[in-house]
Structure formats: structure tokens, C-alpha cells
Amino acid sequence: MEKQMEEVLESIYQKSVAHGDNIITVLQNMQNELGYIQEEAVYWYSKRANIPASQFYGVATFYSQFHLNPRGKNIITVCSGTVCHVKGAQRIVSKLKEELKLKDKEQTTKDMNFTLENVNCVGACSIAPVVIVNEKVFGKQSPDKMVKNIKPYKE
């Protein structure tokens, strides 16, 4: 394991000891620092903290926030709440998939520039359908508008 990663994990460990962090918080910190939940990191941490790796894996696969694979530079999140649904969120997803050349269950583009995901209702129903690119919220979207909106992120 790279020295740098070990240092990152050690500091997460020290923080967890100080704050009494649980596994979810540890994984959240891990993902923030490393981008996704890496197997090597989990085993290292499991040994360090004397917590079975199976618990980390169980938690990481239970919550939709955790990712076991690297994700794209830009994250496009389409809200799949009721209102977004009845106002056509699915058509936005289809259009974006076509635009980003994503097949079936693929979420991340080959050049690692975009990851397309669904999120449960973000509670911005008044401006449905809603798409979030990284942290920016786009309200009242349509498939065509969205294609335009992701253009600036393509560079």
C-alpha cells in the first residue's frame, strides 16, 4: 500500500478513536478522501481497528451513498422522486445515457468524465424534474435542456 494512503487511513482511524465514529462515518471519511471504497483500504483499516472486514463490506453495499468502483470527474444525479417521475425524469435519464454513450447498467463514461446516477427524492419537487451536476441544482429540466447544461462539463 502506498505510504500516502496509509497516512490518510491512519488519520481517519485516529479521528474515529477520538470521536467514537462508527463504521458508517469511517466509510464516509474513507470515500471522501479516496474517492471510493477501496478494498485494500478496507482490509488495512479492518486490521488496524480490529473490526471484521465483512462488517465494512456489509455496510458499504447496503447504503447507496457508498461506491465500490471509481467514479467520474463529474457526477450527474437525476432525482427519481414521484414528482420528477411524473414530470419525465426517466426521459432525461434516457437522453443523458444516449448523450454520454452509456449502455444498460453502465454509470460511468469510459473517459471517466461523467457518472450518471439516480437519487431518491431530493425534496425539490416544486422545481421538478431536478438534476444535480456535482453540487449545482438544475430545476425544471427537459432532456434537451440537460444536454445543453452538461456541455460546460465536457472539457
- Is residue 124 a contact residue for other proteins (CB under 8 A)? yes
The least CB distance from residue 121 to other proteins, in Å, is 4
What is the CB neighbour count within 10 angstroms for residue 155?
Answer: 5
Judge whether 150 and 99 are in contact, CB under 8 Å: yes
Using rule CB under 8 A, residue 32 touches other proteins: no
Among residues 8, 34, 49, 121, the one that binds other proteins under rule CB under 8 A: 121
Q: Dihedral (C-alpha) 66, 67, 72, 73: value to the nearest 10 degrees?
A: 40
Does 102 bind other proteins (CB under 8 A)? Our answer is: no
The reply on whether position 8 binds other proteins by CB under 8 A is no
| Extended beta strands in 5-146, E state | 74-79, 114-119, 131-133, 136-138
Nearest to 126 by CA among 107, 144, 140: 140
Stretch that binds other proteins, among 7-15, 88-96, 106-114, 145-153 (CB under 8 A): 88-96
Does 52 bind other proteins (CB under 8 A)? Our answer is yes
- Helix-helix angle 23-34:39-49, to 10 degrees: 140
Nearest CB to other proteins, comparing residues 14 and 55: 55
Beta bridge partners of 74: 114
Q: Does 22 bind other proteins (CB under 8 A)?
A: yes
Give the residues lining the site for other proteins (CB under 8 A): 21-25, 27-28, 39, 42-43, 46, 52-59, 61-66, 68, 80-83, 85-86, 88, 91, 94, 98, 119-128, 130, 135, 137-139, 143
